[in-house]
A and B are shown apart, each in its own frame.
Chain A
Amino acid sequence: MVPSNNLIVSLKDVVAGYTTTGKGWRSLFKHVNVVLKNINLRVYDGERIAIIGESGSGKTTLLKVILGLLKPVSGRVEVLGKEIYRFSWSERVNILKQIGYVPQDPYKALNPKLRVKTIISEPLESTNTEPEEIEGRVREVIRMVQLSDKILDKYPGELSGGMMQRVLIARSIIHDPEILILDEPTSALDVSIQAQIIELINNIHKKLELAILTVTHDLGVAQYLSNRAVILYRGNIVEEGYIDEIITKPKHEYTNLLIASYKASI
């Protein structure tokens, strides 16, 4: 699918971090540990973009900012043209319903006490959707992620890692979002399931024509899940462009090091 010019997510000059305080009397003083430094990022409708960086580079903080969970120190964060941090929490949540999110570790992300059916239908629970319609949507997305209806009554503990990841993906698309955000979607999975999940995500992208933003530390996976990539290093975007060009002609020293390291380790 060819990406359109409609902006889904836009970050302009975003600086974000975490507030820390000292112990004892020092707790009166607050200090912001800046993690993201002047981030500019645009995600267009229908495009596949990867954010690549090592642990501690600010990938998760960037996701928190986009997901409305961490107000930046400065800068503008727009989702579907609305500056989300200017709205109240409840209004912000309504805007953010246009985002589907797949968290990092499927083994930890699913509530072990809920049945798969309840987990998948959760994003629709707070809407005015009729129960019959929810039931229909659950069955529709479960087929889309190539799982059998039989697992709907099971608990997460009865599923394999690959099935859990598919359940998380089903939950993330049930409310028909404009963008799907995947946090390290394959890092907890072995290579065979990784290949299945990559294929599944790309099929969903074709079918639903939504934007896909993948956060990963794995360049090999990124080349299958994105057309465009952003390299994040120590809170800065150090390189941005088409993934194939980044792999063949890296411009920044860190990107070069990442690719050279990958080649040296095979």
Chain B
Amino acid sequence: MVLAVKARDLRVGYVDEEENILWAVKGISFEVSQGEVFCLVGESGCGKSTIGNTITGILPPYAVTEGELHIFDKLVIKGNQRNYSGIRGRVVSYVPQNPGTSLNPYQTIGTQLYYVLNSVYGWDKKKSLDVAKKYLSLVELDPEDTIDRYPHELSGGMQQRAAIAIALSTGAKIIVADEPTSALDAHLRLQLIKLLMKLKESESLTLVMITHDLVAAGKICDTVAVVYAGKILEKCSGSNVIVEPLHPYTQMLADAVPLLGFKRHLRSIPGEPPKPDEEIPGCVFAPRCPLVFGKCVEPPPYVKAYGGEVACWRYVSGAKQ
């Protein structure tokens, strides 16, 4: 089994104006196998996008890192040293959250693809546009019709596909997609899910999806990592995230999802996630957890339970006595 991504006790923080480090990711370890669809789910501000940006190699200069991150065989992060040469863009590529605002409104889709291909391979415009058409076909857009269009002339679903075409055009084998389905209606979401699954097979891609859409995560992901306050609270198979969630946080997230044709009381999670500068001793979810008990003042270990892995004292035998 080839590992596409391997993180060991990875910490990522940002230095504020007073030179304090605000840790957004607080010591996480995970592995993503080649060809796997790996999802990061959780509330806004829990560190999902920081993990995605770390894998992609687009952390800002004021970011601080600790631990290790491997992309395939290359060690890209060791402590606060970061080296993404040959990785960023070439091996890992990024599909942004909102293609409507991240595509350049002044350039046609063809020109945007040309700039990427020219910078990666040094190809001239003619060859770049020929290859660009191949990638537009790959994402099921009509290349002749799309290549000369500006982003505003495309629908939301088409913009999303164009952004995926740009990400694929570098020949990247790991695609990090930030909230790819959140702005799409049910029909376009299903089409996008099918497209991503098709591309995963045809292009041998590894997908890292960042989402708060538990339904999409459950449908397409091989593994789901539930992130909260910069830590991974649970790792489970995609199908289990809604059907058999382990951690109370995952259970509450699943209870908050509106499901069509099944009108139940939506339970929201009271309170808000802690701020990055807030240090919580013990379980980070304890202040909001309805099932909290005495042992939760200590940091919970990761234990294997029901085919998943969970950081919760409720699954540690004897902890509740």
Chain B residues contacting A248 (CB-CB under 8 Å) are 261
B residues 105-156 touching A (CB-CB < 8 Å): 155-156
State A263–B190 Cα separation when bound (angstroms): 9
State A190–B188 Cα separation when bound (angstroms): 19
- Min C-beta distance of A186 to chain B, whole Å: 9
Asked whether A265 lies within 8 Å of B185 as measured between CB atoms, the reply is: no
Asked whether A199 lies within 8 Å of B266 as measured between CB atoms, the reply is: yes
Q: Bits for B212-248, please: 1 = Cβ < 8 Å to A, else 0.
A: 1111101100000000000000000000001000000
Task: Please choose the segment from A67-75, A137-145, A254-262 that sits at the chain B interface, where 4 or more of its residues have CB less than 8 A away.
Answer: A254-262
- Min C-beta distance of B152 to chain A, whole Å: 11
Tell whether A40 is near chain B: CB-to-CB under 8 Å. Answer: no
Tell whether B291 is near chain A: CB-to-CB under 8 Å. Answer: no
State A95–B212 Cα separation when bound (angstroms): 39
Asked whether B258 lies within 8 Å of A258 as measured between CB atoms, the reply is: no
Asked whether A193 lies within 8 Å of B44 as measured between CB atoms, the reply is: yes
Nearest to B218 among chain A residues (CB) is A266
Nearest to A244 among chain B residues (CB) is B263
Tell whether A217 is near chain B: CB-to-CB under 8 Å. Answer: yes
A191 CB contact (under 8 Å) in B193, B219, B256, B261: B256
Given contacts A55-B183, A160-B45, contact A259 B260 (CB under 8 A): yes
A residues 174-207 touching B (CB-CB < 8 Å): 187-196, 198-199
Asked whether B155 lies within 8 Å of A55 as measured between CB atoms, the reply is: yes
Asked whether B266 lies within 8 Å of A224 as measured between CB atoms, the reply is: yes
A interface residues, tally (CB under 8 Å): 38
State A221–B259 Cα separation when bound (angstroms): 8
Q: Bits for B172-209, please: 1 = Cβ < 8 Å to A, else 0.
A: 00000000001111111111010000000000000000
**A187, A192, A199, A218 pick with most chain B CB within 10 angstroms:** A192
B188 CB contact (under 8 Å) in A54, A161, A194, A247: A54
Which B positions have Cβ atoms within 8 angstroms of A? 42-45, 155-157, 182-191, 193, 212-216, 218-219, 242, 252-253, 256-261, 263, 266-269, 272
A-B contact pairs, 14 of them (CB 8 A): A54-B155, A55-B183, A187-B183, A191-B253, A192-B256, A194-B266, A195-B268, A199-B268, A217-B186, A218-B186, A258-B185, A259-B186, A261-B187, A265-B216
